[in-house]
């Protein structure tokens, strides 16, 4: 079924924002898309046929189509700018493996289409200082959708060995070699309201609605697992020892012949990591990244640890301890550091440094319980299967979550260095199949229950 054949549901009431802010994020997302794609030639924009990526030229057009569909067509009832555009870019109707075979518009025509959509959306905002509730919801929706594709462009460039994006800054010297940030924090048991509330500034449908979640006391690591820690598992022949793997994980390991993280290379006795089109010495104190759920689980079994449940992860990221209490209490923050959006000192987000940084960096972003980098740097795998919360109802973008409640996806939390700061908060739920290693994902762990 095409998007155009569906009846649009009533949109959620999120916090209204200024028209100026909406224009800024529309233009900013557009600029980031261009930064991630425009230095590539036409052949690179198509790329090879692979199950984990899209042709980037198709993806650029799809972003424009999504904006046009949800705002100009569904809200304003305008005619499509391009004839038969749904047959090209409707991601739920156009099978993934056929996207390389479509008669896509030229690069120039694709860019013109995007420009027309962008300017029509900005014009639609008008001169009102405060945006309407409708614009506040839908324009953020389409921008956040573009932000997600921009992170996917980053994955694609890494997967295909393209050069690093041109906008990344050098990692400051005080972020390098600052040492690991190890140990656990103890978190008491109690009742946690898992998910979001209608009072949140913005939310995605799979966060709705907050529900009581009973948490037993647990210990969670202050930081994600580092390259040095994961290297010990590799050098202990962890990839060759079936006892550390789940049955499905061992089948996956044998199928892909995995012997180490996908981008690691050993040269003359030293470990290196392939980053885009360059080989660099493995940074010991950065989080291990581009490991799948199966690899994370295997490391945990080897280390006598476990992955956190997503509810535990959310507690560690969001709750404020009660003074002199051994029971979970206190308010819940939207971000680990409080309720105000991220600033540069809080987290490694926005593609700022073009990659992960030392796990000890960004102490100002610590959660109230003392966990570091719970937002940014790397997405973190959890034990939880991606499933709907009780009472789940799709929002207008009804294919965002519902098709993926299939028992094959695990929940990730926290965002990565490539995630835009406007689309990550403590209750945000990401999801991928357990075999995905292209994702900018690592993990932190919990102690086993005694």
Tell me how far CA of residue 281 lies from CA of 75, 88, 263, 278, 416, in angstroms.
51, 42, 12, 10, 21
The residue-averaged pLDDT of 170-180 equals: 69
| Number of helices followed by number of strands (H, E) in the chain | 10, 13
As a whole number of angstroms, the distance between CA 222 and CA 186 comes to 10
Q: How confident is the model at residue 383 (pLDDT cuts 50, 70, 90)?
A: very high
Q: Which domains does the chain have, with CATH numbers?
A: 11-159 (1.20.120.450), 170-450 (3.90.1580.10)
Q: How confident is the model at residue 10 (pLDDT cuts 50, 70, 90)?
A: confident
Pull the structure tokens for residue 139.
Answer: 């324009």
Q: Which pLDDT value is given to residue 167?
A: 85
Q: Which of 5-19, 105-119, 145-159, 182-196 has the lowest mean pLDDT?
A: 5-19
Q: How confident is the model at residue 329 (pLDDT cuts 50, 70, 90)?
A: confident
Report which secondary-structure segment, H or E, holds 63: helix 56-67
Q: 């100009």: which residue's tokens?
A: 72
Asked if 271 and 282 count as a contact pair (C-beta separation under 8 A), the reply is yes
- The string of pLDDT tens digits covering residues 64-97 is 999 999 999 999 999 999 999 999 999 999 999 9
Q: Which pLDDT value is given to residue 166?
A: 87
Report which secondary-structure segment, H or E, holds 65: helix 56-67
Report which secondary-structure segment, H or E, holds 191: strand 190-194
Q: DSSP 3-state assignment of 413?
A: strand
Using a 10 angstrom Cβ sphere, with 0-12 exposed, 13-18 middle and 19 or more buried, the burial of residue 108 is exposed
As a whole number of angstroms, the distance between CA 212 and CA 221 comes to 24
* Burial track 349-371 (b if 16+ CB lie within 10 A, e otherwise): bbbbbbbbbbbbbbeebbbbbbb
List the 270-275 sheet strands across, edge first. Answer: 264-267, 270-275, 278-281
As a whole number of angstroms, the distance between CA 301 and CA 223 comes to 18
Q: Which residues contact 354 (CB under 8 A, 6 or more apart)?
A: 164, 165, 167, 168, 169, 417
Judge whether residue 177 has pLDDT over 60. no
Pull the structure tokens for residue 152.
Answer: 């996917």
Q: Which pLDDT value is given to residue 450?
A: 58
- For helices 19-37 and 107-125, what crossing angle results, to 10°? 170
- The string of pLDDT tens digits covering residues 245-269 is 999 999 999 999 999 999 999 999 9
Q: How confident is the model at residue 8 (pLDDT cuts 50, 70, 90)?
A: very low
As a whole number of angstroms, the distance between CA 297 and CA 306 comes to 7
Q: How confident is the model at residue 171 (pLDDT cuts 50, 70, 90)?
A: confident
- Gyration radius of the chain over CA positions: 22
Judge whether residue 217 has pLDDT over 70. yes
Asked if 317 and 367 count as a contact pair (C-beta separation under 8 A), the reply is yes
């Amino acid at each position: 079924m095409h998007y155009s054949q569906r009846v649009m549901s009533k949109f959620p009431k999120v916090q209204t924002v200024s028209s100026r802010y909406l224009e800024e994020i529309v233009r900013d997302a557009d600029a980031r898309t261009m930064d991630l794609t425009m230095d590539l030639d036409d052949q690179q924009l198509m790329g090879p046929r692979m199950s984990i990526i899209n042709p980037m030229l198709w993806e650029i057009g799809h972003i424009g189509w999504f904006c046009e569909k949800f705002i100009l067509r569904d809200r304003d009832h305008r005619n499509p700018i391009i004839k038969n555009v749904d047959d090209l870019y409707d991601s739920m109707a156009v099978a993934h493996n056929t996207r390389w075979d479509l008669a896509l518009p030229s690069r120039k025509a694709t860019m013109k289409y995007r420009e027309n959509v962008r300017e029509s959306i900005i014009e639609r905002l008008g001169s009102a200082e405060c945006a309407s509730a409708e614009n506040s919801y839908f324009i953020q929706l389409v921008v956040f959708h573009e932000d997600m594709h921009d992170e996917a462009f980053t994955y694609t460039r890494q997967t295909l060995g393209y050069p690093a994006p041109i906008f990344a800054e050098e990692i400051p010297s005080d972020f390098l070699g600052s040492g690991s940030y190890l140990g656990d924090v103890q978190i008491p048991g109690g009742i946690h309201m898992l998910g979001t509330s209608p009072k949140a500034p913005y939310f995605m449908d799979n966060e709705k609605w907050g529900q009581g979640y009973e948490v037993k006391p647990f210990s969670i690591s202050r930081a994600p697992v580092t390259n040095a820690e994961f290297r010990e598992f590799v050098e202990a022949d962890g990839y060759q020892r079936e006892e550390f793997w789940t049955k499905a994980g061992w089948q996956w390991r044998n199928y892909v012949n995995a012997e180490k993280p996908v981008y690691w290379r050993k040269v003359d006795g030293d470990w290196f990591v392939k980053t885009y089109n360059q080989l660099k010495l493995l940074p010991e104190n950065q989080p291990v990244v581009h490991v799948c759920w199966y690899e994370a689980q295997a490391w945990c079994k080897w280390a006598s640890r476990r992955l956190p449940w997503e509810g535990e992860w959310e507690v560690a990221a969001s709750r404020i301890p009660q003074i002199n209490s051994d029971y979970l209490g206190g308010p819940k923050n939207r971000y680990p550091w409080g309720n105000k959006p991220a600033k540069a000192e809080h987290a490694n987000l926005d593609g700022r440094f073009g990659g992960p940084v030392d796990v000890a960096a960004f102490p100002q972003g610590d959660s109230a319980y003392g966990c570091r980098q719970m937002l940014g740097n790397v997405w973190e795998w959890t034990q939880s299967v991606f499933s709907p919360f009780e009472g789940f109802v799709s929002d207008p973008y009804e294919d965002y979550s519902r098709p993926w409640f299939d028992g094959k996806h695990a929940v990730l939390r926290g965002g990565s260095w490539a995630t835009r700061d406007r689309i990550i908060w403590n209750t945000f739920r990401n999801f991928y199949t357990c075999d995905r290693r292209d994702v900018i994902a690592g993990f932190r762990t919990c102690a086993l229950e005694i």
